[in-house]
Amino acid sequence: MNLVVLTLRSFAVLTLLVLGHPPAWAAKPNVVFIVVDNWGWGDLGVQGSTIPTPRIDELARQGLRLSNYNVESQCMPTRSAIHSARMPTRSGTAKNSWSADTEGLAPWEYTIAELFQDAGYATAMYGKWHVGSSEGRFPTDQGYDEWWGLPQSTNSAQFASSHGFDPSTLRATKGAPAILQSTRGKAPVKAMDFTLETRGKADGMITDRSVKFIKKHGKESKPFFLMVTTLAMHPPIVPNPDFEGKTGFGPFPDMLAELDHNVGRIVDAVDDAGIADNTVFILSGENGAFEGIPVTGIGFGTGNNGPWRGGLGTGYEGGFRSPAMIRWPGKIKADRVSDEIFAALDWMPTLAAILGEEKRIPTDRPIDGIDQSDFLLGKQEKSNREFHAMYIADDLVAVKWRNFKVHFLTREGRVAPVLKWSVPLMYNIGADPGETRELNQTEGVGKYIWAATDALMYIGEINKSMQKYPNIKPGEDFNGYQ
């Protein structure tokens, strides 16, 4: 720490002793938030992976591991939920779209990055955005001071090698797939081509920038919010050349090994800067892993969804339950594991409460996220969330209440027929994580109506809310409710 910063902080502490209230930097911690793409629940060692993830396992033991963390069905919906605390079906972001001229969060939405920015934080994002790829909807339009990364999906790395590829169809990058960069108030510009070759190196570059940002801002009194969104573990599976062949088990495990290494580098940057005790460190997944897709060359690969049925694009637990953990030394007890329900929707109101910035959460729209700060900080054992509604696109496929799941629609894979049930299916996922024993058929028709009733009442409340506040259409230039 340089002498000037030390002097300023010493003066701030003296002010605290004299006036009785803390300086802004003392009251507001830094936040590092890592989101891993297509990460299966069982893709980390402490949750059953046979591929070692020692740095991630160590991080999990240093804080609270959330074994019942619930995300959304695809990339855009989960990122939208994290950024807005609103169910994606409300904001027109319920499914990925390649064909729309305009997509992603409307500029009217208030994001987690804008909340931090308004609270006086330096903000940055490195990695995949995928919540808007047109004018006014890039990260630096939505609360980030700087951004370097992909506007849409990692799939684009393989476009150039496809038959008849026409780069003029890509509106976001105005040509061949590219990594973009921008600063607040400026339109993104091309940073580099995004190809199968650069795809393998990109996560290392994202980590380099994240470490540099932490080193720089760790010396300053102004707090920071850093969002790191990895390209791992999304296809195409192209390991970094430095990790290719490292595990001896193939491309997907090699990429998982690099992910573990990169997470460790970011943790080390925080620790080496001497700011660990004043930094909330979050590591989470985005959606479940692909299921049943073989590894072939640069193919999709497949992750490990643990004991949970299904994967990406299904309404089963394997598609919606993802890894998550949070570390804050001295504030969040180490070696704690909880199977209480926590949702990606909850981060924004929870972090706002931790910052003492609850007043910044909008009141002119439905907010589906729940303040979970007391739960995370160990002031209560129970989560404030008992329900989680599961949508695929705009279709409500299931709802979870405590340990029960009620399925209205099912499909057995990302590309599979959708079955609509005249009587919803019910499972006890606490006793049956594979969702194989339908309760009406195995324990008696109607025995669990009492549990279904609570779940249906919750859905009824959501439907009433959507009637009062109609859902925003995808790409709509929405300016607020009357």
CA distance 412 to 150: 30
164 or 323, higher pLDDT: 323
- pLDDT confidence of 98, banded at 50, 70, 90? low
Count of H-run helices and E-run strands, the chain: 13, 17
* Residue 25 CA from chain centroid, whole number: 26
Whether residue 13 is contained in a domain is answered as no
Amino acid at 131: V
Residues 132 and 178 in one domain: yes
Dump pLDDT digits (tens) for 379-425. 999 999 999 999 999 999 999 999 999 999 999 888 888 999 999 99
Residues 369 and 462 in one domain: no
Whether residue 12 is contained in a domain is answered as no
**Whole-number pLDDT of residue 298:** 43
Domain-ending residue, one of 385, 408, 434: 385
Whether residue 224 is contained in a domain is answered as yes
Q: Using an 8 Å Cβ cutoff, are 72 and 315 in contact?
A: no
Residues 365 and 401 in one domain: no
Residues 376 and 394 in one domain: no
Residues 393 and 364 in one domain: no
CA distance 108 to 86: 13
Whether residue 478 is contained in a domain is answered as no
Dump pLDDT digits (tens) for 14-27. 444 444 444 444 56
Please check the confidence at residue 2 and state whether its pLDDT lies above 70.
no
Whether residue 273 is contained in a domain is answered as yes
Compute the mean pLDDT over every residue in the chain, rounded to the nearest whole number: 91
Give the chain's domain count. 2
Whether residue 80 is contained in a domain is answered as yes
Whether residue 362 is contained in a domain is answered as yes
CATH code at 133? 3.40.720.10
| Measured distance between the N- and C-terminal CA atoms of the chain, rounded to whole angstroms | 51
Domain-ending residue, one of 385, 406, 438: 385
Residues 400 and 325 in one domain: no
Residues 285 and 260 in one domain: yes
457 is in which domain, residue-wise?
389-468
Whether residue 188 is contained in a domain is answered as yes
* 103-117, 259-273, 287-301, 374-388, range with the lowest pLDDT: 287-301
* 102-106, 191-195, 292-296, 390-394, range with the lowest pLDDT: 292-296
Residues 355 and 206 in one domain: yes
Dump pLDDT digits (tens) for 114-144. 999 999 999 999 999 999 999 999 999 999 9
Q: Using an 8 Å Cβ cutoff, are 205 and 11 in contact?
A: no
CA distance 415 to 411: 8
Helices (H), 170-298: 196-217, 251-272
CATH code at 437? 3.30.1120.10
Residues 241 and 371 in one domain: yes
Q: Which of 167, 161, 137 is nearest to 151 (CA)?
A: 137
